[in-house]
Structure 1
Amino acid sequence: MHANIDPETVITKLPFKVMDELSGLLDIPDGSGRPYWKALIAVLPGDMYTDIQINRFSMEGLSLRGGGSSYSLLRDLGQRYCKTVKQLAAYLDRLHYEAALLLIKATEPLSIADNPNSCSVMTGELVKFSCKGKGFPYPRYQWYRAHTKGTEGGEIVYDEVSGAVDSVLEIESADDSHAGGYCCKVYHIPNGQQCSKFTEWAYLTVIRGHTAPPSTSPSGQILAPPVIRQQPEGNLRVDQGRELVLTCRATGCPKPDYQWYKYEDNPKTGAIDKEHIKGCTSEVLQFAQATSLDAGQYICHVYNSVAEAWSTTSNVTITTLAESLKRTQRCNIEILRDPIDVQCLPSVDQKLECLASCSTAKLFFQWYKDGQPIEGETTNQLCFQDLKTSDAGKYFCRVTAENIKSEDSKVAELKFLTPEEKFTATDKVALLIGNEAYRSGTSLSAPGNDMEKMAYNLYRMNFKVVSLLNLTVAEMRKALKIFCSLLSEGVYGLFYFSGHGFEQGGQTYMVPADAPTGYLPEECICAEEVLASMQEKNTALNVLLLDICRKFNDFTQGEFKRFESEAKGNTVYGYAATINSEAFEVSHQGYAIFTKYLVKRIHEECSIYDILKKVINDVNKDPYGSKKQFPSLMGNLKEDRSLADCITYTGRTTEFNTRNDAWQRGHELPSDIPIAQLPYGIVAQIEFEIRFSNVMLIITKILNRGASTWCEATPAKVPPEVDIKLLKGHLEVPDLNGRQGEAPFYKAIIENIQRIRGDFIFDLIVNYEYGGQRYTQALPIRIDRPLISQVWLMDELETERSPTEDEYPDSSTSNSLV
């Protein structure tokens, strides 16, 4: 289990790394081929999700914006149902999915719940021994067999039973070679250290079928005489007042009964007779405190309905207190190794150890903390798993032996290293801009793809992400204004830009999509201007990540505006290139080298400085970037803040909720629209997805072909302010009789949503064929302004104009998905 996970916390509050690993494990198929997230839904209490909702989770794995089915499910369980980590662990426990549970469930101590039972069988019969362990990680098993080597009375050999690694040991056809004692090692491996326990021994008697017909009971049960497998100790010395224990174990069928006897003088005859000991009718003879009267010889009678057997005699000597003192006077306890002081971090494993010796007596250990005995800690080692701060203190071990003066070890102090200061944000907001479709410059292939991956990672780190594609200079200023309106004191602000850029006069500039040929600084956006706007909001952390070239601009002439911001020790710049050098993309693979490694590292739980240093090192080793691209890092960060820091908005709840509502308004999608009022039983549906804050996907599909022989549904006549790219694919859909057939579906990528000035109106064109004739039906669709257009109009920019229809490509452009 990852450190510092409170089982009562809501699932969505899990650290990003845990959520990421957990999602990956739940996406894996189980033994039946079904992904584990679907198996998880199956064990949830009640009918929490309908088939339609489950299908939505399935579609998340295919969404252009990334994410995954399991991640969406986990977020929904946390956000909508407020399910805790403890509840999630209980559901995964029902699936016995240990790999996932190891991320969120604490270690549970190992114990034996059921021991195997002895049995007697005929040659060739099936034998089953079973046991059960409890604990987490889940118990593993290994069976062992004990048998006599050579003739009876020879050396006892303990063999590992090959392949016997389950809780049940089966012997399909028993013979003489299987007879003997069996026990199982039950173990698990928490935190890389094996812990194990052994079950009690069970004994197998195999009766040869060819020697004589076996005896049977009226019910047909095999009858076997008792065979003693464990004899009581031959000579036992016990100190007066200590526990006396003798053990005799046997097998047989029916299960044998026991009666213990003690040899006593008969005053009438003068002979020594066996006197049964009242109440001693089990395998174990036990006296809690031995007295001088308990000295003597003991024997056990073992019997069942078939036959009887007698154990060997045990001679018990009781040592008086005086004799014990004489013996112990010759013995002193010597501490060989004292426990030592330990400094450590919380949530790690640690142990203290005390070694001692005494030549003639058994040693007993008792650990103390701050002068008080620790219950149950009675071995020479004191082990800690997942250390807590409450474990800090002063420890020593008291070593005793029977009737000997105890010795105390030296005191060892366990204390914690001063933990690194934990930083938090009152919220986290990111503005991502990717410009790739330049009107006058070279088009790029990477910004959209890279921004999509960045948005996905930041979203999973609880950033409120505003992601915008292909903005004009006016739109970039508007986006910056919206972004800064979401910032305030204590917030982490992140600005990312991917596109063209340049360096001039010690300032870095980002080129908008509408920049003219030979662009000048005043026609672009300055990174220092962005920082100055962010600093006005008194943020706790400002991160500017610029995947751009920084070559000097040869077109600049005369003076240009300079931007200055107050140094507050809260800023980091990550540049894809150093001054007067270039940044590169791998065009045929659609990614930029710098962002490739930024995406790989950005979620790591370490300082943003450290992340960017790793990214620089990665780029230097990249086969495409080595020796030609040189990222750089600049900043004045005085605290080791991380983008993975938690959000704590205590005392700022109203502000947090207001910001959350504002962000959600700018990312609202229309609800799916089912279209059932179509001829001949045709059923269509319109679905909406988000790629970026200003890019929406409209998916039109046929759900049922009805009585038609062919049909399709296509979006058309979208508002002229937006751009559209139409992709085509095919699905298997039923007709009225349930027969599956192929029907096309369309995915319209709607860009520049921010330019919409009213409701979003378009047509759904349904084409179908019936009776050999083709028909077309146009259905007008009107939806509220989607995504960023909701907030874009709240503060209209005078410099913006609505593009004309002539400036945009024809909406009929089509590219096949297949």
Structure 2
Amino acid sequence: MSEPPCSPPGSLPLSRLAEPLLRRLSELLDRAAPGKGWRELAQRAGSRGRVRLSPLDLEQCSLKVLEPEGSPSWSLLKLLGDRGCTVVELVEFLQAMEHTEALQCLSYSGIKIVVQPDSQAVLCGQVVKLCCWATGHPFVHYQWFKQKKEVPHGNSPELVLNPVKVNDAGFYICRVNSESSFTFSRWARLEVCDLQDTAHGSLISLPEKKLCICIQPQPQNLTVGDALVLECGAVGNPIPQYQWFRNGFPLANGNKNVYTVSCVDMEHGGTYWCHVFNDKEDQDSKKIEVIIGLLYYAGHGYENYGNSFMVPIDAPNPYRSANCLCVQNILKLMQEKETGLNVFLLDMCRKRNEYDDTILILDALKVTANIVFGYATCQGAEAFEIQQLGLANGIFMKFLKERLLEDKKITVLLDEVAEDMGKCHLTKGKQALEIRSSLSEKRALSDPIQQTISSAESMARNLQWAKAHELPESMYLEFKCGVQIQLGFAAEFSNVMIIYTRIVKKPPEILVCRAYVTDFPLDLDVDPKEANKGTPEETGSYLVSKDLPKHCLYTRLSSLQKLKEHLIFTVCLHYEYPGIEDTMDERKEVNVGKPLIAKLGLHHGFRNNCLQTCCVANNLFHSQVESSPVVTKYYFPSRCQPNSCPGAYHPNCTCPGSTRQLEACSCSGTSRMLASRHEVQNYSPPAEKSNVPIETTDDTVELEFLLSDSLGLSKQQ
């Protein structure tokens, strides 16, 4: 029976080798130096358990020298072929013998690739053709691979993808083999651009190989500390290349289709565009504006002469008011927006800065009845943090986050937070919440934001915001044993989701049963020790615990912005029957798609967890709002929660007069360390394993070498 066309050449038996090739090998072995001739080959072949050679076999081969045109090597090769020896085994023997000439006879003889496949970028839905044409004697066979996997039915010179899908993107290579040898084409990279907007459907009929920008960068309105993500997508053959510009100058590290800055500063504002080009054409994207504002801050602070100052993380040591941000100046800028509510929650020290004697003369603020200040401590005092297991939380923030979602007037909510803080004996006499307010009507942190302008930009932003807050629907899972489990979901932040499970039906013959969730993607920050807990608080969730159903097991998933694929996890059921000691178990895999902010596909643009506390469910925190007399604007210049925005720890703080105190905190019944807010500026959180995907090299030559070698070996074994 003939060998299938796509079978690897390494598995070809010696008996199938062409006669001229066998003759050439025989000549080389017959006249080889000692240690490289047919006797050495016979010895190595005979040492393998699968190929048995008797002394009589070797004697018959040796006697061939008595014949006029007899060849011991020819006789041996025919004998090995009859007993199932393959080409790859022969290659191994010759390599061990270091017989270079014989090895050259078996490699790449007679095959020449005349058409190589091209790398290209295409639109989802188009027809894509990858071509590889080769010549060889007597004929050649083809097999296409995507990375290391064979492409089904990919055994012709042309690989056609009709229509091409997003998951078809990747690196492709074609293996060409004849009866006696094989070789690989060069690697071809296929990029597939997915346009959700049906208005771009006409692009599918673009002329073949035409360079065209199909995804334009969008304007950005950011605040200091946000992540900048600009995307430009193009199709074409040869594959397009990219270079980003800002204010007319090329950007370092701006040679990808996505340009990111993990934590923006004021200097990152300006006019951006992307130059797209290949060997044949070039185009510029549209120019867009990136506006950087300041709304969120995390770091140390002090107070001089009634003015509060926030210290940037790169301030010199010692720092003065010229190096810092004055809270009163920020309030003035916020008043210019005519917002319905301005809230400052300042979780920072208010001690005097002895290195700063400057008395600032500020412009008078407007007289408005819409300002609330919540100071974590009294004037001249320090604010403290609780540290536990390498994490830190301000005393003020610890109690504030437990009431943050309550639908109460902001001053009433802060009064209750102050009462909670007063019950903590650890900070009595050291720290007390101070509230200042000019409110004349009921305003709450849970008030919805109202806009009077419905620009296209704001509508697009609102749509994106809505997409980032879509939760999976509650579902019921039926197990073979008759148990039914409800799986529910709740959002704590736009990138933090709570999964809760409960048993809703249990057959009477089952004694006890328990369901839990496990096997989450490595992209997410999920601590197995804090999963499947009896209360949300045990998972570290406080903000939405009052709204969750009772008598469930709760698991908190954070860093959803890092999720690259669908969220797939396993629901495990353990149950017991009376009189049976063994515990039974069943498992079901659940795919809930891309929940919350994961739907926006921002994982490639983040190198930190900036969204951990900045994106909050129920529209609590907004970095961009339209001008309106009833718009609510929130400002939290406090220390971030652990794993949140950058700049949370200030390495240069030398606030005078600080003392370190170690006491046992009874707030939550665990032993903790209490430290002054300015003392923990030098605290460095433990190093975490990066969840950011490492980009593959664009050097296809290197990739070709690595994967070709791997493919060749894997197919020969």
Q: Same fold (TM over 0.5)?
A: no
**Structure with greater Cα Rg:** 1
TM normalised by structure 1 equals 0.27
Relative to its length, the structure with more strand (as a share) is: 1
The structure whose RCO (Cα within 8 Å, separation 6+) is larger is 2
